[in-house]
Chain A
Amino acid sequence: MEPDREDESFVKPGLFLVAFLAFSSLAVLHAQDTPPGILVSRQLAASEGLTVGSIVRLSIDAAGTHAKEFTIVGIYEPTPDPAQLGVVPREVRLHLPDLLDLTRPAASVAGTEFVSSINVALVHPDDAEGFSRDVNARMPGILARPSSEAAGSAGPFKVLERFHLAIAVVTIMASTVFLLALTMMLVDERRETVGVLRLIGLPARRVLLQVLIEGALVAGVGAAFGLVLAVLSEGLINAFFQWRYDTALVFVRVTKDVALTSVAIAVPLGTSATVAASWALLRRGGLRLARR
């Protein structure tokens, strides 16, 4: 593909190369003419002590061959990328023509380079599907995809979602067992009280209703406490991991859906555990329950 020489937008392809070169052969210089502008990632600027207005030299190899001067016109925060977790993004962003001038092999004629991708903004975004089909049909060798399908990194996160779900299921199972054991002991402690209630005439169904309401209340309060704990810890966890990995990535987010799902699981589970634990007790006679 022939690149658009008038394109002034920043490009991402090829940045790894430039980023690699940046930290291996960066040198701050002073120049009389103002060289082309570049953006530098916050992490690279911090580690190399670069500031807006600094003039740096970039080269395509560590030896600094054919290095060119650039002016830092801004420091930017890189878009958080979970796939790059743990890798400090030491990147620079150049205007596409500047990047091509820098990386073009000596034997290549200007304008014959290729670019990795072209982003197209449509007048009618809903036509993306049809437009892609049209381009694919008219230009063999070119692959056009709507942006929604081009999110190649969606795969890992779908897998991680399933992984987290599996862990959540195991945790819920363990919690259920824990809850059952606990409620059984708590119910056992109230055996005499239940026996007295039965002896003064309350039917088993009435006592069961009381147990059910109690269970629901305890489960509801527990779920609310859990949500408050999650919301409070959300900031702490994000702050810790953002500091640990020097990233703006959000690691934990308690969304409305997550909160509702948690409550929808916790309250019925807690209530059912209480009722299940009480069931055996309520089947016994009042006299037997009250007897020591």
Chain B
Amino acid sequence: MRALGFAARSLVRQPARATLGILGVAAVGALLFDMLLLSQGLLVSMRDLLEHSGWDIRVSAGDLPGRGPRVQNSLEVARRIAALPLVRSTLRVRMADAQIDRPSSTPIRAAFEGVSALSTTGADMHPPWTVTRGREARGPHEVVIDDRIAAALGVGPGGTITLRASCVSDRESLPPVRVDVAGIAEFPFAVSDEDAIGGTFEALQTACSGNVGDDADLLLVTSTGDSNETAAAIRTAVPDLRAMTNAEVVGRLQQTGFSYFRQISTVLTTVTVSFAVLLITVLLTVSVNQRLGEIAALRALGFSRSRVVADVLSESALIVGSGGLLSLPLGLLLASVLDRILKDMPGIPVELHFFVFESEALTIHIVLLVATAIIAALYPMRIVSTLPIAATLRAEVMD
């Protein structure tokens, strides 16, 4: 009988402890798997979001797009960028706080994204939202709204809403403005605790009663070729501003915004792996200690030293392997629960996920479990390899 089959029979002989060992590894493995998903989840999710948005470069006045001071004279800046040969199109984005009036309830607070496109190549440009019903907003009196606003107001494409936006200061008291709803849209970068409205720059001017100015929160750029070269060209053309490729934005976020989750992921990965090693080591050691007589008898019957060592290693591999397999569905289930909890955090884009499956995470998970199986088996393997056959059998008989 091969070592693996023999180890399987040893485990079947002790079903309760084998089951508990496997369940323990499954629970610890699930947590380990989740921490590996969390370690890169936000970055992977953010990279996907940025890449699917269709814009290669983000130009802003602050360290990160959308944060810090606004881009002054944005129309002139957009023109200078659009004139670059590597640039396909440019979109100015201006954010404003808005309140949508409701006849018999408190107003709905929303973020108004006003956009204005500029292209010297005639390329098609799409705003940073996706219309799911109706059509795109055009002109100064049309907007698109998200599903939550539509549901709260009972308004669909073709309806009208009354809103007041604050473009300069949230202390402004502006008159209400009625605008038409052209469509319902998804705003992937809208934060989870805030509703969103989209429209043209002109629509934003209408909502803010013309009190907007010429500054923009950021400029989105698509390039005709390599985005790094385009970003470098933009930095030369507008040296006061920061032009960041999607990869640079993700890299910047990696340095600042997401460090907490990377740290907790590292700490918990270390803790869970140590815990798993300890669990399997104790289980195997106690199990081996209880079977010393049996193992000595097998040695006396002709089992080689390497064979009994292989039996212990196989036992460890079976417990960790079975627990590891169980840990994958358990981990994915737990990840969805933890993701829902963390997505309640204010300021997180609705499309951003904390736990994202990646084949790399699965590979690391498997490598760590294999290492766990080997390391955990080292001490019990040493016990059986150095077991004195005659003395153990004698002690067993005397006992």
Contacts and interface: CB of A to CB of B under 8 A. Distances in A.
Interface stretch (B120-128, B275-283, B300-308, B361-369): B275-283
Given A163-B338, A170-B27, A184-B16, A86 B259 contact: yes
A17 B275 CA distance: 47
Contact of A87 (B193, B256, B263, B283): B256
B290 A185 contact: yes
A174 B24 contact: yes
Interface residues on B, range: 35 or more
B169 to A, nearest CB: 6
Main SS at interface, chain A: helix
B279 A189 contact: no
Interface stretch (A51-59, A154-162, A215-223, A282-290): A154-162
A155 B346 contact: yes
A154 B63 CA distance: 25
A188 B16 CA distance: 12
Most buried by A among B20, B240, B287: B20
B173 A140 contact: yes
B134 interface: no
A170 B255 contact: no
A17 B287 CA distance: 65
B68 to A, nearest CB: 7
A241 B263 contact: yes
Contact of B342 (A163, A171, A186, A245): A163
A181 B27 CA distance: 14
B391 interface: no
Contacts of A86: 255-257, 259-260
B374 interface: no
A20 B341 contact: no
B383 interface: no
Nearest to A182: B282
A87 B347 CA distance: 18
A167 B345 contact: no
State the main secondary structure of chain B at its contact with A: helix
Contacts of A160: 345
Contacts of B360: none
Contact of A171 (B31, B68, B240): B31
Interface string B100-132: 000000000000000000000000000000000
B199 to A, nearest CB: 24
A137 to B, nearest CB: 15
A181 B334 contact: no
A126 B121 CA distance: 64
Given A86-B255, A114-B169, A162-B341, A185 B240 contact: no
A289 to B, nearest CB: 15
A173 B334 CA distance: 13
Interface string B280-320: 00110011001000000000000000000000000000000
A189 B290 contact: yes
Nearest to A280: B16
A20 B68 contact: yes
B28 interface: yes
A177 B23 contact: yes
A85 B263 CA distance: 11
Nearest to B18: A181
A17 B69 contact: yes
B79 interface: no
A181 B21 contact: yes
A6 B290 CA distance: 82
B27 A174 contact: yes
A180 interface: yes
Contacts of B21: 181
Contacts of B290: 185, 188-189
A174 B341 CA distance: 20
Given A61-B240, A86-B255, A177-B23, A166 B338 contact: yes
Interface of A: 1, 16-17, 20, 61-63, 82, 85-87, 114, 140-142, 155-156, 159-160, 162-163, 166-167, 170-171, 173-174, 177-178, 180-182, 184-186, 188-189, 241, 245
* For the complex of A and B, 3 pairs with smallest distance between CB atoms: A181-B20, A174-B27, A86-B259
Given A170-B30, A181-B279, 20 more contacts: A1-B171, A17-B68, A20-B62, A20-B68, A62-B240, A85-B259, A86-B256, A86-B257, A86-B259, A141-B173, A162-B341, A163-B341, A166-B338, A174-B275, A177-B20, A181-B20, A184-B20, A185-B17, A185-B283, A245-B259
7 contacts: A20-B69, A86-B259, A159-B341, A162-B341, A166-B337, A174-B275, A178-B279
